[in-house]
Structures are given as C-alpha cells and as structure tokens.
Amino acid sequence: MKKYMIRCDMEGVSGVVSYEQAEPGRPEFAFGRKMFMSDLLALIDGLNAGGASEIVIYDEHYYGRNIDLDMLPENVTAICGKPPYRPDWPGGLDSSFAGLILLGFHSKSGTGKLLHHSYEPDISDLILNGISVGEIGIETAIAGDWDVPLVMITADSAGVREAQSLIPGVVGISVKESLSAEGGACPSAKKNARLIREAAIAVVNDTPSSTPWKIADPSLRVVFNSGSYFDKFRELHRCGDSITLHGSSVTECWAEYWRMKLAIQKYLKNKLSLL
C-alpha cells in the first residue's frame, strides 16, 4: 500500500509564463487553471497506474480553490481553502506517506527565473539553518520532519534544478524552460502530460533514491520585502528587515510564521474595510 502527498502550485505548470495566467481574477486565469488540471490529472493517473493506494492533495496556490473536484478519482482527497499549518498538522502530511510530490512549483526569489518568488510576495528570502530556500525547500523540510522524502517535482527548468541541487535523487520533470522572469519555452501540454504520467508510474514502481531532508534544531529566518505587510510586522514584532523563528521542527517554525502572518493579514483587511 503506497500513499502519496501532492503539494500544488501554479506558476510552475505547463504553459504558464505570466501572473496574468496564474492569479485568480486575471484575464487569462482560466488558461492557467486548465494547464494546472492537465498536469495534475496526468500525475494522478500515473500514480494510480503505478499502483498508488491513496493520494492526498494540498492546494497551495492563492486561496487553495483551484482543483476541479469533479475530475478526481475516488482514491484522491483534496485539501482546499489553505487551512493553516499547525505544529501537529503540516497540511495533512504524516509518516504514513511513501513520498511527497511537488507539482507546479518554481524557483525561489532572487533567481531571476520564470515567475520566481519565495512562497509569497511579501517574503524576500527564507534562510533555513543558513541555507537560502524557497517553497521547494520549506515543503521538503516539513516533509522531512515526518520522515517523508521528496520523490518527484514538476516545475520550470529552474525549479527542477533547485530541487535536485537540494535533494539528490529526486525525479524532476521540467514542463518548460525558464528563459526570463516572464518568458519560457513551452512544450505542448500533451507532451508534458505524457512525461509526467510516465515519471509518476516509475516513482511508484521504483522508489527514487532521495531521502527525507531532516533539519535538526531548525532556525528559520524570514526576510521581508518592503510594503504595508512588513511595516505592520515590524511594528508588532519589533524586528528589522527579518524575523528568526526557532522550534523543535521546521513544521513548528513554519506554523508559527503562519500564525503571525494570518494575524497581520486580518489587521490589514479590517483596516481596509474601514476606509
């Protein structure tokens, strides 16, 4: 019995080269969502063809409402709406999973590569025990807390390189070549779907050599971009351009950041409603 967790983003899926295609409400978002579902369904089909027993998806993109549930097989559960991570609940992940798969991810902020950023626009960098990471690194380290390895990633070419430099042995499928911050060479969605499906079958049948990325005594420094979010964060927490979080696990550090972030977002939302 093999159970897999899929974490989803959208900037790194087939054909998406602009935030016009990746942000809800933008004119081309329907195209981005179509490409997202094409890649996701190919991944699910491949995992099931290989013999996966259960698949859980955590939709991380924007509001976490991007998955067309009508298209999912019966052995798939989707976590929608982005419920906050907690120290004891890292987005539905636990040690019962055979592997973590990242779908549609991208390179971290500062790389200059296609649609690069580090988890969210307010963050300039994430430094985990001295290593600069983006969402690829954070999600991989959280999985490591629960002894789950990153076994596969689908992303732009820069995102795949980032994952493979961090975790040797992870299977990477590049769905487009990163040429600039908003430009890429994009194969057909059909070709990418075939490559993703074939790789997923192989992952189930022949477990990759990647191992859980376990971080002892984690220290997570969150470096901010300037803006209203950072101004309020600095006011409340009396920090400079960054804040450093410590915990017994990366999950605990990231859950604490989520708690702080949600409180500030609530304040800013309430402030806007009063204007």
**pLDDT of 272 above 90:** no
The token pair at 66 is 């991007």
**pLDDT for residue 271:** 61
**pLDDT of 266 above 90:** no
Q: What is the DSSP string of the chain?
A: --EEEEEE-STTSTT--SHHHHSTTSTTHHHHHHHHHHHHHHHHHHHHHHT-SEEEEEE-STTS----GGGS-TTEEEE-S-PPPBTTBSTT--TT-SEEEEEEE-PPTTS--TT--SSSTTEEEEEETTEEE-HHHHHHHHHHHTT--EEEEEEEHHHHHHHHHHSTT-EEEEEEEEEETTEEE---HHHHHHHHHHHHHHHHHS--S------SS-EEEEEEPSSHHHHHHHHHH--SSEEEEE-SSHHHHHHHHHHHHHHHHHHHHHHHHT-
Average pLDDT over residues 200-209: 97
Average pLDDT over residues 51-67: 97
Average pLDDT over residues 75-91: 96
**pLDDT for residue 236:** 85
In this structure, of 42-46, 178-182, 214-218, 259-263, the range with the lowest mean pLDDT score is: 259-263
**pLDDT for residue 247:** 96
Considering the chain, tell me which residue range(s) the CATH 3.40.50.10780 domain(s) occupy. Answer: 3-118+135-205
Give the pLDDT confidence of 61-74 residue by residue, as tens digits.
999 999 999 999 99
**pLDDT for residue 275:** 44
Closest by alpha carbon to 17, among 139, 158, 138?
158
Average pLDDT over residues 36-47: 98
Class of domain 3-118+135-205: alpha beta
CA distance 168 to 140: 12
Q: How many CB atoms lie within 10 A of CB 237?
A: 10
Q: What angle do CA 214, 99, 121 make, to 5 degrees?
A: 70
**pLDDT for residue 274:** 46
Write down the mean pLDDT value for the chain.
Answer: 95
Give the pLDDT confidence of 148-159 residue by residue, as tens digits.
999 999 999 999
**pLDDT for residue 38:** 98
**pLDDT for residue 14:** 98
pLDDT band at 112 (very low <50, low <70, confident <90, very high): confident
**pLDDT for residue 216:** 96
**pLDDT for residue 237:** 86
Average pLDDT over residues 140-149: 98
**pLDDT for residue 40:** 98
**pLDDT for residue 269:** 77
Give the pLDDT confidence of 206-234 residue by residue, as tens digits.
999 999 999 999 999 999 999 988 998 88
**pLDDT of 96 above 90:** yes
**pLDDT of 102 above 60:** yes
CB of 78 within 8 A of CB of 92? no
**pLDDT for residue 273:** 53
